[in-house]
Amino acid sequence: MTRKIRIKDIARLAQVSVGTVDRVIHNRGEVAEDSYNRVMEILRETGYKPNLIARTLGSHKSYRITALIPNPDQDEYWHQTFDGVVKARDEWAQYGVVIDTCHFDLYDKKSFEQQANSLLNSNPDGILTAPIFHQEAVAFFKACKSQNIPFVVINNNVAEEPSLGFIGQDLYQSGRLGAELSHLNNEGGGVYAILHVYDDIHHSLHLREKEKGFRDYFDEQRDAGYTTLSLDLNHSHEPTLEKELNDLLSNNQLKGVVVTTSRGAHIVSRLIERRGKNKLRFVAYDLLEQNIHYLKLGIIDFLINQNSKRQAFVGIGNIVNHLLFQRDIPRERLFPLEVITRQNLSSYLQSDHH
C-alpha cells in the first residue's frame, strides 16, 4: 500500500507551494498557466485523492439546512418525515451542520408559498422539501436556482426543475405492486378497485401514477376477466363518503381494494370491520398507527411501506454530503417497495431504519 499522498507531496513534486496546489485543485484561478499544468499533471499521475476529513476540518464553514415539510401534527405520515429530519439533525450536529424545519399547512397552498418565501429570505445553504403542491413547488425551485441554493426533493418528484436529487419511490411500480398484492391467488376475474380519499385535490398528481400502475397490471393479466375501478372520494363529509364506500363494498364481484391515502385506509378499515371481510383483499400504504392496528386484526392484508422517515433522513444526508464533502449524490434514489404482512411487521417496527 503506497503511502497516502498529500497536498504537500504534490506541491514538492510540482515545485510549487501548497497554496498554489490548493488554488488549482479548487479552480480558484490566480495561478500561472505554467504551474497550473504542472500541478494538474502531477495530480493525475499520482491519482491524488483529497482527505475529506481534513478538508472539512480545515474549512471552518458551518452549514445551515432547512427542511420545508407539511406540519407534522396534521398527519402521521408527515410526522414520520419530521422524525427523519430530527434523526438527521442528531446525526450531523457534531459536524457543525444546523438543520431546522419549517412547516406549512398540508391543505393550504398559500401557506406553502408563504413559508417558502420566508425560507428563501433566510438564505440557507441547502433545502429539503416535499413538493406536494406542484405549481407552487415549481416556482419555489426556480427561486432556489436563481439564489443558487441546492435542494433535494422527497416523496414525489417534480420533473420541471431538476433538483440535486430525488428520494422516493417509483409510484407507478408501487401501483402495480398494490394490484399484485390485491390479486394474489385470485384467479378468474373479478372487480378490483383503487381508492383515493382526500380532503383536497392536491394529491392527485402522484396518486394518478399509482393508479396507472394498478390498471396496467390488470390489463396485462392473460385471462381478461378483470374489471378495474378507481374512485376519487374527495370530500370531508364522512356520512356521504361511507355511503359511497358501502355501495362499493356491496358489489359481490369485488375481490380486492387498494387505498392510497391514510385517511381512506382508516375509514375503509372501519367499514370492513363492521361489515365483515369475507374474501376481500385489502391493501393500504404505510406503517401508520391505524394501519398497523388493522393489519394485526387481519382487516388489512398488506401494507406497502413508503418509509417517509428514511426518505427525509437520506435526503438530508445527501445535502450534507454534497455541501460538506463535495460528494456526488445520485440524481434519483428510489427506495424498495416494502411489503408488510402480519408476520414481518415486527421486524420492520423494530428495525431502526423505518
Partner DNA sequence: CTGAAAGCGCTAACAC
Partner DNA sequence: GTGTTAGCGCTTTCAG
DSSP type of residue 93: H
Is residue 297 a contact point for a second copy (CB under 8 A)? Answer: no
Is residue 50 a contact point for DNA (CB under 7 A)? Answer: yes
* Residue choice 217, 226, 285, 294 for contact with a second copy (CB under 8 A): 217
Phi, psi torsion values for 186, nearest 5 degrees: -105, 85
Closer to a second copy at the Cβ: 98 or 271? Answer: 98
Is residue 347 a contact point for a second copy (CB under 8 A)? Answer: yes
What contacts 45, CB < 8 A, 6 or more positions away?
A: none
Is residue 282 within 8 A of residue 271, CB to CB? The reply is no
Window 2-41: residues binding DNA (CB under 7 A): 4, 6-8, 15-20, 22-23, 25-26, 29-36
Is residue 338 a contact point for a second copy (CB under 8 A)? Answer: yes
Nearest CA-CA partner of 74 in 262, 342, 315, 218: 262
Is residue 59 a contact point for DNA (CB under 7 A)? Answer: yes
Q: Taking the CA atoms of the chain, what radius of gyration do you get in angstroms?
A: 25
Is residue 281 a contact point for a second copy (CB under 8 A)? Answer: yes
Q: How far is Cα 304 from Cα 174, in angstroms, rounded to an integer?
A: 8
334 binds, among DNA, a second copy, none (CB under 5 to 8 A by kind): a second copy
Name the segment binding a second copy (CB under 8 A); options: 28-36, 73-81, 183-191, 292-300: 183-191
How far, in Å, are 275, 288, 300 from residue 342 at the CA level? 21, 14, 9
Number of residues this chain uses to bind a second copy (CB under 8 A)? 48
Is residue 201 within 8 A of residue 237, CB to CB? The reply is no
Is residue 222 a contact point for a second copy (CB under 8 A)? Answer: no
For residue 221, how many C-alpha atoms fall within 13 Å in the half-sphere facing its CB?
Answer: 23
- Give the end-to-end CA distance of the chain in Å, rounded to a whole number: 39
Q: Smallest distance, Å, CB 179 to a second copy?
A: 8
Q: Which residues bind a second copy (CB under 8 A)?
A: 1, 4, 49-54, 56-57, 93-96, 98, 169-170, 173, 176-177, 179-181, 184-186, 217, 281, 333-344, 346-348, 350-354
Q: Which residues bind DNA (CB under 7 A)?
A: 4, 6-8, 15-20, 22-23, 25-26, 29-36, 50-51, 54-55, 57-61
